[in-house]
Structure 1
Amino acid sequence: MRALYPGSFDPVTEGHQHVLRRAASLFDEVVVCVMANASKTGRFPVAERVERLRTAAAGLVGVTVDAHTGGLLVDYCRQAGVGVVIRGVRDGRDLDHEMAMARMNRELAGIETLFIASEPDRAHISSTLVTAVGRRLTAL
C-alpha cells in the first residue's frame, strides 16, 4: 500500500524523521511531499526542503520525496494513487487540528489518515520552534 507523508518540512526536524521511519516500516511505499502552505512563509525554498528530505530518507526502503505547490492534498493523492495520509501528532492540539483535515480528506476523496504519535522526548519540537531558535542564535 502507498502512503503520503505531507508537510511543509520547513525545516525538517528529528520528529519528522522519526515519523517517516515509523511510516516506512508500515507501508510498502511512502511518498514524503513538501506541500505549499499559503498561511506560512517558508524560510527555506521548496527545492532545498526536498533535498533535505532526500538526505533524511536516505537508506529507507520504499521512500520517495516529491513536492506539490498547487492544489489540494486530495488532488495530489488522486494523481499519485495514494489512499492513506500519514500525520505526526505531538499533543491534543495537533490532533484537534488534524482531525478536521482528516475528516475533510475522507469526505472529499475517501482518503484515510493514520496518526503517528511523537515520542515524548520529541513532543516539544516543531519546525516553528526550530526556526525561531535558529533565528535567535543567528542574531547573537
Structure 2
Amino acid sequence: MKQIKHEPSVAVCPGSFDPVTYGHLDIVTRAAEVFDKVIVAVLNNTSKQPLFTVQERVDLLKEVTKDIPNVEVDHFDDLLINYMTEKNAHVIVKGLRAVSDFEYELQMASVNRKLNEEIETFFMMSSNQYSYLSSSVVKQIARFGGPVNDLVPESVEQALRAKYSEM
C-alpha cells in the first residue's frame, strides 16, 4: 500500500489584536488543536490608529501564547494572500461573534478566494462567554479605569494601564 505523505497543516489567524483578548485566545487555542501550526499574524492596518504598536502587539501575543507549542506569532503589512503564500499556508482562521462579523468576513473570504483559489477560510464561532468581547470594548473600559481582568490576560491588562497612564 502506498503511503500518503501528510503535509503539515498551517493556518494563519490574522487580525489587529489591539489588544489581544480572551476571545482571541479562545480562537487561537482551539485552532491550535485542529491545525499542526497556527501563525497568529498581526496586521499593520494603516487605516486605523492603534493603541499599541505592531511590535507591542507581537510581544503581548508571544507572551500570552508561549504555552501553546504549535503557535507562532508574526506580523505583516501586505495583502494577506501574499503573506499566506510566503508562509506556505492554505488556511485562514477567523473568529465570529455575531452576524455582523459574518457579513464582513464572508466578503473578505470571497475576495481572498478570488485572489487565490488554494486558500480556504475557516470560521470558528466564538465561545458564548466571549461573544460580546472586542478589543474596542476592552480599550473603552480600560481608558476609564474600569476592570478588564476578566477580558484580557494580566500582562495585557498591565500594558493597557501603562498606556493609558502615559496619555
* TM-score where L is the length of structure 1: 0.95
Where do residues 15-54 of structure 1 align in structure 2 (5 Å cutoff)? Answer: 15-54=23-62
Deviation at 1:55, TM superposition (A): 1.1
Match of 1:83 in 2: 90
Question: What is the percentage of aligned positions where both structures have the same residue?
Answer: 38
Structure 1 stretches of at least 4 aligned residues deviating more than 6 Å after TM superposition: none
Deviation at 1:109, TM superposition (A): 1.1
Match of 2:113 in 1: 106
CA distance in 1, matches of 2:91, 2:123: 10
Deviates more, 1:53-62 or 1:8-17: 53-62
Aligned pairs, number: 138
Which amino acid in the other structure matches residue 102 of structure 2? L
What 5-or-longer segments of structure 1 have no aligned partner? Answer: none
**Larger-Rg structure:** 2
Deviation at 1:133, TM superposition (A): 1.1
Check if 1:72 corresponds to 2:82.
no
CA distance in 2, matches of 1:27, 1:133: 34
Q: CA RMSD in A?
A: 1.2
Deviation at 1:38, TM superposition (A): 2.6
> Residue 127 of structure 2 is aligned with which of 98, 109, 119?
119
What 5-or-longer segments of structure 2 have no aligned partner? Answer: 1-8, 146-163
CA distance in 1, matches of 2:121, 2:130: 21
CA distance in 2, matches of 1:132, 1:113: 30
Which amino acid in the other structure matches residue 19 of structure 1? I
* TM-score where L is the length of structure 2: 0.80
